[in-house]
Structure 1
């Protein structure tokens, strides 16, 4: 069974990635600073689909799907790379741009 996930506001994500299982992450060798800069990490995306049948009792009803864009950042620390979902954080970051 997976460990419970912490819940926090999207604005706190840059601080939250500084910890790995409760221990402070050490930046990758050669990186500047003492913290991992989330905005400098590689940006990745994936499209998933939210599909629904509006009237499931109607056998002729079609399935309707809507795309859902999800964003991720691939960062590096001393252990190697890790990926974190940043969808809500990217939306908030771009709202202020």
Structure 2
């Protein structure tokens, strides 16, 4: 039997990196760029690629996707709130 734990750890690391890219939006231009890329990859619905990465990581995409999507939306709300605050402060 083949030990797949190393492969699972690799794909889990990929998902963790996506999660970091979503959360670290405040790291300047690169942080925002990574956030945009990660949030597009996550999408509104789990893509075939997202589902495959989750499966390779040993996770169910139907369980992981809503949680990632919630974090994306929370981050977007914080960004919108910050932009509004910046506009009010500029007046």
Structure label with greater radius of gyration: 1
Greater percentage in helix: 2
TM-score by length of 2: 0.25
Greater percentage in strand: 1
